[in-house]
Structure 1
């Protein structure tokens, strides 16, 4: 009987178990399933996910680098994910975020009967938000908000996070629309208002509506019981009050932060801000400087020395003590070891100080470069800073050229023995020493992840690098920077302790260069001295060229001050310095006219003096004509347009081989427009027409007339001289002809017969023709010349900091084009007008080529696009060759091109890039690429 009873009980239990298992194994919507899924979803997934998310948020808050020079962000978020590279800016343990996503997806797919589906979608959105995947996060939050409208708390939270995601995506219009709904729904809930209010405050800050931001953030603080309501948000509120000049309220909130358990950096900045505000309230800048400098005595503030010096500099700047301000800004930049943003701000202040107050544009350029090298690309006005730096580079290059040439001339004037001694000193190899500071367990700064005794592969607690890093962060958060040493809590140490530390720090060893190193240095020194000696202007002609480089540099600097920076005082200073050094320079007419304008509003007597100099010494110059007739420039432009039009008509006759009409046309133009800017080119056409219709004597008379009439012409005279030299070399052949010039090629006119077997002697690439006044661009010296005590006005820019080279702005990359080295380059002139004829302009290009690149085989061809005509010259075998060509032809383009100046521009390009230009769009893309990369 007992056995039967036992069997019955077992059967009943087995049946109940089978029923229970059946119920659990299906998605039947019954009380048992709902209860079990709620239990499982809540404790196995939601709770654990929230723990993981809370831990991640806490770690993110500890590692996030705030910029205390701007309003702190109300909430912390990474930068958007880069979808092209797949790179995410999320920090910390992102595996935790992946685990949260996995758990949330499990709830949605397997716990469909539970009450936690909405929380699962919120977790999916938050995890993607913190991974920087804001677009996907926004979609999850949007779905949750639409699906759970009846659940007011979930609906409001989803809209709040959707707005944050949109703000991170910079979709500000959509974010504002979403927040308008949030604002309307706030009264529908009793709790959980703090986060939406904080988001509203952040949007108000973004929109620069700081009064609204104060209102929303104050409400958020009252609604929140979180740690941030006692630290981060009061700090931001203090910043807002300070900006709104409500200093008492600002001081109260900074004090609240200072007295809270805030991170040390926030505590320090709150203390710094309190000093600043007390200074404003009490109007005692001297006391503030003393209070700031007192902070330097506390070891806890070691990492914030840069900020202290920066604040002191700001005080001196406010007092208009610019030299002291510069001194402390430099100290700030020098001490900014870990905070690149602070270093960048110091450099930027130094740049602005030199630019606006000290008038040292060379130093300003270097400081702008240094600022750009450390400031983030999203820094406000980054592009404006970049543009300033690029403009000031123009000045820097020319001041450096002056210093280099002054140095070269000073060395050239020395006796041979003294010069050799000086060169040896200049190129003496610097002795470098390497100091190894002794590391002890009781000395040195503790570094995270680098414990004193670390054993790889062990399970010991302190072998875990992540644990050590977290501990280090926690320590610094509480105590600030402290040296790992005995009595580390002491802020003020005894003299004995300091002496012991100094002795330990002095321990090190010096390394001497090896024999092979010394030998290499000696060889290098000899080679550099030899190269540098070759640059010395030892002959009168070399000295003349050196002087001309200095003259041109001064003239261009002064013009830049006057026209670009609009600093008339500095322009006057440089112009007069140039006149003092070189009273008979070749720019006197332009300099006198520029000084006449510069003094016009400050010194009428000096202005009148320079006006009279222009009129008396250069009566026929364009400057004298402009003084006498203010409308002369406009009239001249109209005249030039007529002269160009007439030239094109004469050239059309030339192309049609109507040479008598060419001669007649030139004579008529000379009568109507005597002394016009193209007269030498007109006379050249006439000479060629004479050669096509008359004998060689007539041609030579015409050519010689051009040389006599235009001895200094840089375009036509060199070409004519080469023609005469060729004719004289083959005079018998030319004398035997009735007509001097018997061939004609309309694409590239020549003055010699194509059937002649003897060709002109070839010249090296880029070598100018004999007797050619066109001076090719000087090659860059192989060795950068050191400067020997230049004058104050010629000083080269001083580097902002020894450890920071001037910023090299990275070139803009267009994936269509490449800077890769090529075997073929072209120089291109883009004429952005299909309605004008470019035949005469091509002829002018040919004139330049034959005058300066005889025998190099350069050809100029035409490529027509839908909206542009491209005259391209090639082939050049290297980038340096085409750059030299560009430097030679660019100053002559206004005379070469017979089209309006506004319609053409010149540039150079590799064959591979040239082949990619198909239309106006690709051409403009290359022009932008060219501007940013060459």
Structure 2
């Protein structure tokens, strides 16, 4: 009996070994092999992979830094920048999951877990930041396992998430459409939580908060994971708060406070409850007092910066801006771990100083800190960066408004009182206890009050603003550097004897130095007094000119906000201020059209109002024609292309000195198109051709016709006025000539190569004399004088090192160019260069600017220089940008303007290097 039992046991063990060996050998589709593969796949691979994935998700949630100033993301993943760079994080836990999933696919091909393996591969790539591969794995799973409803839904859900991380929202939305269609077939409620959350996240990206709330409530209801429910409840409160549904927002935040939420989320939910409690109808509360009580809890120490920030926000909402700035500053000082919060406080202080206090230098400093502190993915970061880079453009125009308002207020005083008021401005009374923030705030005029502003108190005037003094000091430093007030201060390099003498003078003659300082200050005050007195708009004509400067400044500010900064909210505010102050101005048609576009989606009723005004009051304007006929702009572009070609053809005749043909063709062009955007330039070509073929009287008649017909032109008219002034000054010499303009050289600007004599010529070059000084309102780059030695401005301390991409750098230089890049080597740019020369002679006559052409590959570069510093080049760029269309006479989509240092420019020798610099310029300037 014992032998029989032993024999049977041996047979059983032998058979079992054979089965095991067989099942571990070649894969065969049998019941035994499928059973063994399912067993090992499920417990050796799938289970362990899910544990690893769950642990990673928990670790990610614990280490992820949420930004509670924005709506939180419903699910977490690596930064989008990683995905866009297509770089894998290569996390070890994810690599382990990938190996396990691949083992199932390769060795367990008859198991029931192949679909889950592909989903695990997709999730591992998702958390590795490799969203492209993740989307492909999920797409394959969805297409291959369409009949497995759970796998199909999960694959579509994670495919949509991967595409959303890549910001391919259109494709993600299409995937979610398929997902939403199949959701009713899912029977297990808990399997619906993630799809609903993904649908809610998509709605948040699309700014459809109402739909997001609906999906999110469904997700919370379906979820069986506590931490997800808490997070989603907080986000639900944020969405309700955005919609100003404060009652439901309070309920959501209260649930978070009472839950087992992480402390930071608990703190922010409590903070939000206090913040919105005072916003509920009928609720009276001391918001600042409640917020201050949070500072007493030691557990809130690391979050005190947020408390101070919220206190500042309440004061800003109440328009108590000095106190708001005080608490924003305290928020910065108390910041310990939250750089994002510090960046927001910097931003708020910058905005306050720019919009409310008009302290532009301080605003510039805080905008610099903002862009260096906030992450680049902050919503609106590019706008802040642009605003910071172009702050001088806006500042200059706001200062024009302040200046003209102040002068108008003084002019309204009795004549006897004006001198006293100007003296009070030149010699402001300083008090030791004055709060600089309050002074700056109170020193501004109420710009929106209309043109009949009453005279403000003494400290409301522009010239008593310390910022004006600071800006003047800054301009001095930019030109001369840090110079001591001493003898021969213009001389930057001195001999040792001079240094010794100066040191002895400083040590032994301090009283004399103070006296010299006082004398210099007295002279400056006398100059200021004279300037104020001479610029007072004391009659109707001067008042109209002053108002026109204000109108143009407002319009340029609004247009800059709308077109350059892409900030329609700020643009609309400035446009409205312009309309309130000056209901009748020459920019009405453009203003109405801009307001029509701004409100087209945001406020259709307001948009319709401005459309009606535009069609009624300016029915013949291009803006009205575009509204009535959307194809008008296309036809207009075609017309502009035709006009450009016509001008270039005539310019070629001008270069060939065929002046009679030039006159004839300009006359024909004027008949066929009597009014186009190049009309002043056509007229100028004709006038010069007349001067080359007729006497001075004919030339002056042609010039006078230009100034009469095109008084507002900013390119040709200033140049013609200079020519006229010069000819008038030397009229007797010109009268002796049979032909007004002689010795023509097409490569020289008009009049530059002429020489006048008592008979036929005068041995004197006329180039410098014809370039009359420009108005003080024209931007002037700092010109180098041969008798003056200047040192560059010392570099200011920067929070970071000089930026570079390995080849190009933003290090300071002593020479900069403004460059117009034309992406077409087949075009002849003679007329474009001629236009740039016209602009330079009309606006920068004394700056000795030169422009040259550089060609390579399929590109052409017209570069203008030299500018001694970046700010001068930037001022030039701001002035010429609005004229480039008239100057270039080539399609607007093929040219771009930018600034570059000489060192960087010398490195550009090919199209690829040019593209590389353009990217560097875009990211750093």
* TM surpasses 0.5: yes
Please name the residue that 1:403 is paired with: 473
Stretch of structure 1 that moved more, 583-592 or 282-291: 583-592
Aligned in 2, Cα 1:644/1:867: closer, same or farther, shift over 3 Å?
farther
For residue 369 of structure 1, report the CA deviation from its aligned partner. Answer: 2.3
In the other structure, the counterpart of 1:316 is 315
Offset at residue 345 of structure 1 (A): 1.7
| CA offset digits 1:787-835 (Å, max 9, x no partner) | xxxxxxxxxxxxxxxxxx888899797x997769999987867899737
* Contact 1:166-1:174 within 8 A present in 2 as well: yes
Secondary structure, in 3 states, of the residue corresponding to 1:359? coil
**Deviation for aligned residue 1:710:** 5.2
Distance 1:267-1:186 versus aligned 2 partners, 3 A rule = same
Deviates more, 1:636-645 or 1:340-349: 636-645
Does structure 2 conserve the Cα–Cα contact (< 8 Å) formed by 1:279 and 1:285?
yes
Instruction: Using the TM superposition, give the Cα deviation of residue 767 of structure 1 relative to its aligned residue in structure 2, in angstroms.
Output: 6.6
3-state SS of paired residue (2:722): coil
The equivalent residue for 2:708 is: none
- How far residue 175 of structure 1 moved from its aligned partner, in angstroms, is 1.4
Query: Does 2:61 match 1:57?
Result: no
Kept after mapping to 2: 8 A contact 1:332/1:343: yes
Note closer, same or farther for the CA distance 1:67–1:809 as it changes in structure 2 (3 Å cut).
farther
How many Å separate the matches in 2 of 1:693 and 1:311?
69
Query: How big is the shift at 1:40?
Result: 0.8
Q: Is the contact between residue 82 and residue 88 of structure 1 (CA under 8 Å) also seen in structure 2?
A: yes
Match among 570, 583, 595 for residue 533 of structure 2: 583
Q: Report what 2:387 is aligned to.
A: 388
- Give 1:414 shift: 9.0
Give the whole-Å Cα distance in 2 for the aligned partners of 1:121 and 1:692: 78
Distance in 2, matches of 1:334 and 1:195, equals 41
Query: Any conservation in 2 of the 1:73–1:202 contact (CA below 8 Å)?
Result: yes
Q: Residues 867 and 583 from structure 1, CA distance in 2 versus in 1: closer, same or farther, beyond 3 angstroms?
A: farther
Tell me the distance in 1 between the aligned counterparts of 2:880 and 2:2: 119
Q: Which residue number corresponds to residue 488 of structure 1?
A: none
1:677 maps to 2:722:
yes
1:254-286 residue CA offsets vs partner (Å, 9 max, x unmatched): 222112111000111111122223323375565
Q: Distance in 1 between matches of 2:754 and 2:770?
A: 26
Matched, 1:127 2:124: yes
Alignment of 1:354-393 (within 5 A): 354-393=353-392
Question: In 2 relative to 1, CA 861–14 (structure 1 residues): closer, same or farther, beyond 3 Å?
Answer: closer
Contact 2:757 2:763 in 1 (8 A): no
Distance in structure 2 (CA, Å) of the matches to 1:639 and 1:20: 94
Query: Who is 1:327 aligned against?
Result: 326
Give runs of aligned pairs for residues 753-768 of structure 1, distance below 5 A.
768=785
Question: Aligned ranges for residues 293-308 of structure 1 at < 5 Å?
Answer: 293-308=292-307
> Which residue is equivalent to 2:339?
340
Alignment coverage as a number of residue pairs: 667
Q: Distance between the aligned counterparts of 2:756 and 2:530, measured in 1?
A: 53
Aligned to 1:668: 698
Quick check: 1:241–1:250 contact (8 Å CA) kept in 2?
A: yes
**Whole-angstrom CA distance in 2 between matches of 1:918 and 1:545:** 56
In the alignment, structure 1 residue 261 sits paired with structure 2 residue 252:
no
Tell me, yes or no, if structure 1 residue 176 matches structure 2 residue 216. no
Per-residue CA deviations over 1:151-176 (Å, capped at 9, x if unaligned) read: 11111111111111111111112212
Note closer, same or farther for the CA distance 1:586–1:806 as it changes in structure 2 (3 Å cut): farther
Query: Structure 2 vs 1, CA of residues 828 and 209 (structure 1 numbering), >3 Å: closer, same or farther?
Result: closer
1:852-893 per-position Cα deviation (integer Å, ceiling 9, x unaligned): 999xxx99765678999866689xxxx876989979999999
Alpha-carbon shift at residue 24 of structure 1 (Å) = 2.9
The equivalent of 1:71 in structure 2 is: 71
Matched-pair contact (CA < 8 Å) for 1:289–1:315: yes
Is the Cα–Cα contact under 8 Å of residues 242 and 250 in structure 1 kept in the other structure?
Answer: yes
Matches within 5 A, 1:269-288: 269-281=268-280, 286-288=285-287
Q: Find the residue that maps to 1:231 and give its secondary structure.
A: helix
Give the aligned partner of residue 113 of structure 1: 110
Higher relative contact order (CA 8 A, sep 6+): 1
Give the Cα–Cα distance (whole angstroms) in 2 for the partners of residues 872 and 222 of structure 1.
64
Q: Does the 8 A contact of 2:131 with 2:165 survive in 1?
A: yes
* Conserved? CA contact 2:815–2:867, under 8 Å: no
Is 2:667 the partner of 1:645? no
8 Å CA contact 1:80–1:134 kept in 2: the answer is no
Shift, 1:348, TM fit: 1.9
Q: State TM-score, norm by structure 1.
A: 0.58
How far apart are residue 371 of structure 1 and its match?
1.9
Q: Rate the CA distance shift 1:8–1:346 in 2: closer, same or farther, 3 A.
A: closer
**CA 1:238/1:687 → structure 2, altered by over 3 Å: closer, same or farther?**
closer
For residue 828 of structure 2, the aligned residue among 834, 837, 841 is 834
8 Å Cα contact 2:77/2:127 also seen in 1: yes
Alignment of 1:555-570 (within 5 A): none
Aligned mates of 2:310, 2:277 — CA distance in 1: 14
Superimposed CA distance per residue, residues 291-339 of structure 1 (whole angstroms, 9 cap, x where no aligned partner): 2111101100001101111111122222222221111111112222211
Task: Return closer, same or farther for 1:225/1:48 CA change in 2, 3 Å cut-off.
Answer: same
What are the superposed Cα offsets for residues 473-531 of structure 1, whole Å, 9 maximum, x if unpaired?
xxxxxxxxxxxxxxxxxxxxxxxxxxxxxxxxxxxxxxxxxxxxxxxxx99x989x99x
- Distance in 2 (CA, whole Å) between partners of 1:207 and 1:591 is 52
Change in 2 beyond 3 A, CA 1:688/1:79? same
Distance in 2 (CA, whole Å) between partners of 1:327 and 1:3 is 98
Pick closer, same or farther for the CA change 1:884–1:412 going to 2, 3 Å: closer
**CA 81–382 in structure 1, closer or farther in 2 if over 3 Å, else same:** closer
CA distance in 2, matches of 1:250, 1:691: 73
Distance 2:854 2:146 in 1: 64
Per-residue CA deviation, residues 585-627 of structure 1 (Å, 9 max, x unaligned), is 8999998654344789999xx99xxxxxxxxxxxxxxxxxxxx
Aligned-residue RMSD, C-alpha: 5.9
User: In 2, are the aligned partners of 1:828 and 1:907 still within 8 Å (CA)?
Assistant: yes
Cα 1:847/1:339, change in 2 over 3 Å: closer
Is residue 813–residue 869 contact of structure 2 (8 Å, CA) maintained in 1? no
Alignment map for 1:493-512 (pairs within 5 Å): none
Superposed, 1:575-614 pairs within 5 Å as 582-584=532-534, 594-597=545-548
Aligned to 2:616: none
For the Cα contact (< 8 Å) 2:346–2:370, is it kept in 1?
A: yes
Mapped to 2, the partners of 1:254 and 1:155 lie a distance apart of 35
Relative distance call for 1:714 and 1:870 in structure 2 (3 A) is farther
Preserved contact between residue 372 and residue 386 of structure 1 (Cα < 8 Å): yes
Q: Offset of 1:63 from its aligned partner?
A: 0.7
Counterpart position of 2:764: 703
SS in 1 for 2:337: coil
Equivalent positions of 1:155-170 (< 5 A) are 155-170=152-167
Measure how far apart 1:201 and its partner are. 1.5
Structure 2: segments with no counterpart, 5+ residues? 397-466, 490-498, 555-576, 583-673, 705-719, 735-739, 745-750, 775-782
CA distance in 1, matches of 2:392, 2:178: 51
Q: Does the residue aligned with 2:73 lie in a helix, a strand or coil?
A: coil
In structure 2, the CA distance between the partners of 1:385 and 1:537, relative to structure 1 (3 Å rule), is: farther
Deviation at residue 703 of structure 1 after TM alignment: 3.5
Distance in 2 of aligned mates of 1:909 and 1:412: 25
Change (3 A) 1:15 1:537: same
Q: Does the Cα contact within 8 Å between 1:230 and 1:257 map onto a contact in 2?
A: no
Distance 1:642 1:579, change over 3 A: farther
Change (3 A) 1:908 1:275: closer
Classify 1:587/1:872 alpha carbon distance in 2 versus 1 (closer, same or farther; 3 Å). farther
Distance 1:298 1:216 in 2: 37
Verify the 8 A CA contact 2:256 2:266 in the aligned structure 1: yes
Q: Give the match's secondary structure for 1:65.
A: coil
Gaps of 5+ in 1: 421-521, 552-577, 608-633, 654-660, 716-765, 771-775, 785-804
Rate the CA distance shift 1:330–1:140 in 2: closer, same or farther, 3 A. same
Quote the offset at 1:244 in angstroms: 3.0
Q: CA deviation at 1:98?
A: 1.0
Scaled by the length of structure 2, the TM-score of the pair is: 0.59
Alignment CA distance shift 1:822-1:239 (3 Å): closer
The whole-number CA distance in structure 2 between the counterparts of 1:844 and 1:112 is 77
